Each structure stands twice: as structure tokens, then as C-alpha cells.
Structure 1
Amino acid sequence: MKMNPLGRTGMMVSELCLGTMTFGTQTSEAEAHAQMDMALAAGVNFVDGAEMYPVNPISQETVGRTEEILGNWNAANPGRRGEYILATKHSGAGFMYARNGAPISAQTIPEAVEGSLRRLRTDHIDLYQFHWPNRGSYMFRQNWSYDPSGQDRAVTLANMEECLEAMQQQVDKGNIRAFGVSNESAWGTAQWLRLAEEREWPRVASVQNEYSLLCRLYDTDMSELSVNEDVGLMAFSPLAAGYLTGKYQGGAVPEGSRMSLVPQMGGRKSPRISDAVAAYLEIAARHGLNPVHMALAWCRTRPFMISAIFGATTLAQLEHLLGAVDVELTSDVVAEIDAAHRAHPLPY
């Protein structure tokens, strides 16, 4: 398993990251613990969670359950916490199941960090991320109508300053080691970096945004920022919420799949998606590649990639996903992927 630097933190993380958002809904605690064992044995040393997880569906009753499941694994495996880099996230403004939807602030950060530490049953979080910015985001399929004109720059920057200062206090306490953002823009990330460098507060180590063959919003401004500022991408949904496996082609909805639980796939379902997926499945078939392995191997070719975050509901799925690390794409495959992208840009 190849290791990549986590920004300028000095930490090295595996090119694949175990996503945990199904732990506690689609994935039982026993299965989740078995996934931890299998992933670590395969060389994965990066695990990503969030205080709002699990999802599919999200409910008030289950918020925090994923972190509790990870915490129970930590408690059952004393001495193994140092084997992996643990990341989690502070929910953003509007998430009513945590702090009544309050925006991220100097007041919410200590409470959120302490809550995660308690549920995770650990004395530190390696990478603490803000799940989405207070001012809103073009992610989550909101790019079609994104309008930042209502933002108040002075208010935004003042909030960023107080949040970074609060994060510095968490670093000083030993509660967190590094800071990351999620669902961020190039402007937002640049401001976090500028303020951190001016005040010597925690520098952004990573950006966790959606990225896959079907969602390549990161390829332009964010890509440039990543490469020049050593702030790489943690790609979530690299299999496009399961579309790139091919399991939803022809209108199929497998029992227990995400689509069976969230029919509109969080806004990803569209009239163009089947044709786009078909184009990538045809490339994989033509070159004798498994489409899952091709999609994850393609992520490794991107110059800004730290790690691709995959989720598996079963051990069998996890075992299959891990096989992607042995796949290298030829230049011909990459060229055909780029041609398919031009023919089917941003299908959702």
C-alpha cells in the first residue's frame, strides 16, 4: 500500500482510506470491527469518520453511533490505536441533530471535539475536519444553482479566525494533531491557509471533497491550489455512491443498496448518469479491468490525491475493493477515460 504525505503534518497515510459512514446502519458493529481488522492487515492506515455518521439514513437516534463503534474497537484492541491515522469531522451549520444546527464556532469546537474523543475512546484525533463551511458550499449537488453573492466576507473571515484560534487551543491540549476542511472551495481553502500562516495557527492539511470519474469538480482551481500549497484531496464517493460498480445499470436496485434506502441518491440520480456509467464500464471491459478497481486506480493517477475514501457494507466488498492497489492503468486507459469525461461531463 503506497503512503502519501498528509499535507505538511509529517504524517503519512495510505492511498486508500476506510470510510465508516455505514457503520451502525447498513454495517453492523461486528462487521465494522472485522472491516477494521481486514483493512489494517491489508496496509490501510487511514480511517475516516464524522460525528453525524452513520448515514443511509441519517437520524437523530443514530448520530454519533459510528464513532462509538470505532471507539469500541479501540477499547477492544488496546495498543493498536497507534497503528492508524484517525480522522473525524465537526458537523456544519444547519445540521439540526447536533447543537441545534449551530454554525461551527469557538463555542462549538471544544464541545464537539470532546464528544468525539469520548465516543472514539481515544485521547487524540489525528485529523479533525470541518464537515462543510458555515457560509454554504457548492458541493452536495448544489453547484447547479450556487450563488455566493449573499456572503458577508468580513463575517466569514472573522469566524475563520475564531475557529482557527479555537483549533490551536485543541492542538495545545493534545486533543488534535492536524486540521482539515471538507466540501470547501478554492477561495475558502486559500483563506484558511492565509489566516493560519499569518497567525501561526493550524494549517489546512487536507480537503475532503467528492471526487470520482462522474464528479470532477476538483480538477481545475482546487487542483492548482492542492499542488501549490501541499493541501491534497481526500476523495469521498470515488465510486460515485456505487454507480461506478455498475450495479444500478438497467434500473436495478439491489436489496440493501444505498439506492434502496435513498432512492434519489442524494441528488445524484439523473437522466444522463446511466450513459455515463456505461461509457466507463465499456472501457473497463475492453481492457480486462474490474470497474471498481479501475475507478480507484484512476484516483491514484491524479496529481493532487492523498487518499480515496471507500465504503464497504460487507467484508466481501471490502476484500474486493482492496484489490485496487494492485492495478495500474496504462496511458491508453487514462486517455479513454478522459475522452469519456468529455463526452459525459458532470452527469449529476
Structure 2
Amino acid sequence: MKYTTLPNSEIKVSKICLGTMTWGNQNTEGEGHEQMDYAFEQGVNFFDTAEMYPVPANPETQGRTSKIIGTWFKKTGNRDKVVLASKIIGRSSDYSAHIRTTGLTSESIKEAIDKELQRLQTDYIDLYQIHWPERLTNTFGIRDYKHDPSDEWKDNFNEVLHALDEQIKTGKIRHIGMSNEKAWGTMRYLEESKIHKLPRMSTIQNAYSLINRVFEGDMAEVSIRENIGLLAYSPMAFGVLSGKYIKGIAGDDSRLKLYPRFARYSSEQSTEATKRYLKIAEDNNMTLAQMSLAFVNQQPFLTSNIIGASKMEQLKENIDSIDITLNENILEQINAVHAVIPNPAP
């Protein structure tokens, strides 16, 4: 395994992070434990969850993922050997109103952390993240920002940081991060932390893959110059970058067959780009999954690559990507495809 350091800390994290959002829905508790056992044995010391997991989110399953992690901690005694990340939902949406509707207030942040600690059977979370912005902006597959003057959101960056600071002082969380955030929001958080001597955002968890390199715009410069590490999610684009869908070998229990509404990475252009990337991988004696993950692993702004799998063979292949280095010739071929079909899945 290869390791990096959580920005602005001395915490060593594996460059592969174990994503968990299928546990409690597509995966049983036993399967979640098996994945954690294997990943831990391979040197993965970084796990990521969220209060709303598993996905798709609904009232019946909410929190199951973290409970599965909690029972593993209790069984193995490995809590102090794992860097644990979790998230709080932003302003209510159609898939999170069953959790809360109050937004990111001091009270809701405290309540969310306390409940998550109970589920996880621990007394601290190493990295606590805002799952998505509360303001209306272009998240979750929306290509461009279009201002909505009817948005009732009021600037609360300072309030959020003060609330998180309170929780850091209690010892319940150690470091903080963002998710699905944009350049403006990132810089606003940094501005508030600098001016008011509040905790500083350490990481940003955004989508990043061969077919979604939007992060390489303004966010890459912010990340590198401000030392905000990317935790890349969906590096396999919901399994599209395994090649199984274009090859017609995806099982009935595959993510997009179970949940066809998750079509963020399934456009005609995404499919064409995926076909071209598959040829590059096969011409260079790699699987598309290995090449896709190795590409993410090599980025200079990356802190950790969040991989997730519903099956053990997928998990093993994904973790093994850490041992692959793409040479300049392969990177040139990848960038040639990107030049023709840039970011088909924003």
C-alpha cells in the first residue's frame, strides 16, 4: 500500500480509501466485515461512510452502513488503527428529508455527530465532512452553474465552522472536510477559518474519474495551492469504467441494473469515451478498472482514492491498482481521448 498524509495534520492515510455505501443494501453485514478484513490486511487504513448511507437513501436503511462498521470495530478492536471519515447531509433534499430538515445549525451538527458515534461504536471521528453545499449550486451531475435568485439560503460558512469547532473541542471530531463543493465555497470556508481563527478544511470529497475530470479546472489549483486534498469518489463511475456494461456482462445485481436512475455516467458520450479507454487498457495488458483507478491514484492533488465494491473480486482488483503506474505513453493516449470527449459525465 502507498500512503499520504491528511492535509494539515500528521495523520497517515492509505492512498486507497475503502468506500462503504453499499453495505446494508447491496451488501450484508457479513460481507461488509469481509471487505473490511481484506482491505485492512492489504494496508488500507482509511474508511469513509456517511450518516445517510447506504445508497439509495431511505428511512428504512438510513445509518445501517455505519452500524456495520461499528460492529466490526467492536469485533476486531481495530478502531485505533483506522482513520475514519463520515459526513453530515446538507439542507434537506428529496432523499434526505427523513434524516432532518433543519439544515446545518449548531444543534443539528451536534445531534448528527452524537448519533453517528453511537452507530459507529466509537467516541471520535477522524474526518467529519459536509456532504454537500446547502446553497443551490451545480452538484451531482449538473454541468454548469446557473444562479437561482429564489434560493433562500443565507451565508452560514462562519456558523458551520463555529459549530464544527465546538465539536473538535469536545474531542468528538478531529479534522473537517467538504464534499461536492465548488471553488467559491471552498475559498469561502478558507477565508472564514483564516479571518476568524476557526478550524481549516482539510479535504474535499468530489467525483473524479476518467469520464469526469471537472476537478482539474479551478479546483485543482485551489487544491494544490491551498493544500486541500482530494478524496476522489466514483473513480469507477458506478462501475461503468469496469467495462462490464459495454461488454454486456453486467449481472442483474449490478448497481445500474438495480438502480437505473443512477444514470450520471451512462450518456452516449460517456459510453463512447469508455469504449476508447477500454481499448487503451486492453492494448496495454490491463483491465479498464485497473487503468481507471491507477489514473486517479497518480494525480498530484489526490489524498486518497475512494474505492467501493459489492463483490470481493472487485475489491481485490481495485486495491491492486495501487501497484500500477501508467507511463507517459498511456497517459498521452488517455489525454487524447479526453481532448476529443472531455468530461462526458460532469
| Alignment match, 2:175 | 178
Q: Determine the C-alpha separation between the residues in 1 that align with 2:76 and 2:112.
A: 24
| Alignment match, 1:208 | 205
Structure 1 stretch displaced more, 43-52 or 283-292: 283-292
Alignment of 1:53-64 (within 5 A): 53-55=53-55, 57-64=56-63
| Alignment match, 2:123 | 123
| Alignment match, 1:147 | 146
Q: Which amino acid aligns with 1:72?
A: T
| Alignment match, 1:98 | 99
Q: Determine the C-alpha separation between the residues in 1 that align with 2:278 and 2:167.
A: 46
Q: Determine the C-alpha separation between the residues in 2 that align with 1:179 and 1:277.
A: 34
Secondary structure in structure 1 of the residue aligned to 2:98: coil
| Alignment match, 2:138 | 138
Secondary structure in structure 1 of the residue aligned to 2:238: helix
Alignment of 1:281-296 (within 5 A): 281-296=278-293
Q: Determine the C-alpha separation between the residues in 1 that align with 2:277 and 2:125.
A: 37
* Unmatched runs of 5 consecutive residues or more in structure 1: none
| Alignment match, 2:86 | 88
Q: Determine the C-alpha separation between the residues in 1 that align with 2:202 and 2:37.
A: 27
Secondary structure in structure 1 of the residue aligned to 2:291: helix
Alignment of 1:7-26 (within 5 A): 7-26=7-26
Structure (1 or 2) with the greater helix fraction: 1
> Deviation of residue 136 (structure 1)?
2.7
- The reply on whether 1:65 has 2:61 as its aligned counterpart is no
Secondary structure in structure 2 of the residue aligned to 1:58: coil
Secondary structure in structure 2 of the residue aligned to 1:306: strand
Secondary structure in structure 1 of the residue aligned to 2:274: helix
Q: Which amino acid aligns with 2:221?
A: E
| CA spacing shift, 1:74–1:151, aligned 2, 3 Å | farther
> Deviation of residue 149 (structure 1)?
4.9
Alignment of 1:27-38 (within 5 A): 27-38=27-38
> Deviation of residue 253 (structure 1)?
4.5
> Deviation of residue 97 (structure 1)?
1.7
Given that 2:131 and 2:178 are in contact with CA atoms closer than 8 Å, whether structure 1 keeps it comes out as yes
For these two proteins, the number of residue pairs brought into alignment is 342
| Alignment match, 2:157 | 160
- The reply on whether 1:318 has 2:315 as its aligned counterpart is yes
Given that 1:248 and 1:254 are in contact with CA atoms closer than 8 Å, whether structure 2 keeps it comes out as no
Pairwise CA RMSD:
1.6
Structure 1 stretch displaced more, 135-144 or 105-114: 135-144
| Alignment match, 1:197 | 194
- The reply on whether 1:279 has 2:276 as its aligned counterpart is yes
Secondary structure in structure 2 of the residue aligned to 1:197: helix
Q: Which amino acid aligns with 1:61?
A: E
> Deviation of residue 151 (structure 1)?
7.8
| Alignment match, 1:332 | 329
| Alignment match, 2:238 | 241
Q: Which amino acid aligns with 1:62?
A: T
Structure 1 stretch displaced more, 193-202 or 67-76: 193-202
Given that 1:128 and 1:180 are in contact with CA atoms closer than 8 Å, whether structure 2 keeps it comes out as yes
Given that 2:297 and 2:322 are in contact with CA atoms closer than 8 Å, whether structure 1 keeps it comes out as no
Structure 1 stretch displaced more, 86-95 or 250-259: 250-259
Q: Determine the C-alpha separation between the residues in 2 that align with 1:59 and 1:69.
A: 17
Given that 2:135 and 2:153 are in contact with CA atoms closer than 8 Å, whether structure 1 keeps it comes out as no
> Deviation of residue 169 (structure 1)?
0.7
Given that 1:135 and 1:151 are in contact with CA atoms closer than 8 Å, whether structure 2 keeps it comes out as no
Q: Determine the C-alpha separation between the residues in 1 that align with 2:229 and 2:223.
A: 5
Secondary structure in structure 2 of the residue aligned to 1:265: coil
Given that 1:2 and 1:14 are in contact with CA atoms closer than 8 Å, whether structure 2 keeps it comes out as yes
From 265, 274, 285, the equivalent of 1:268 is 265
Q: Which amino acid aligns with 1:132?
A: W
> Deviation of residue 251 (structure 1)?
5.5
Given that 1:181 and 1:206 are in contact with CA atoms closer than 8 Å, whether structure 2 keeps it comes out as yes
CA deviations over 1:261-302 (Å, ceiling 9, x no partner): 211324332122221100100110111112111111111221
Q: Determine the C-alpha separation between the residues in 2 that align with 1:127 and 1:325.
A: 23
| CA spacing shift, 1:231–1:151, aligned 2, 3 Å | farther
Q: Which amino acid aligns with 1:210?
A: A
Secondary structure in structure 2 of the residue aligned to 1:147: coil
> Deviation of residue 344 (structure 1)?
1.3
Given that 1:14 and 1:307 are in contact with CA atoms closer than 8 Å, whether structure 2 keeps it comes out as yes
Given that 1:183 and 1:207 are in contact with CA atoms closer than 8 Å, whether structure 2 keeps it comes out as yes
Q: Determine the C-alpha separation between the residues in 1 that align with 2:238 and 2:118.
A: 30
> Deviation of residue 216 (structure 1)?
0.7
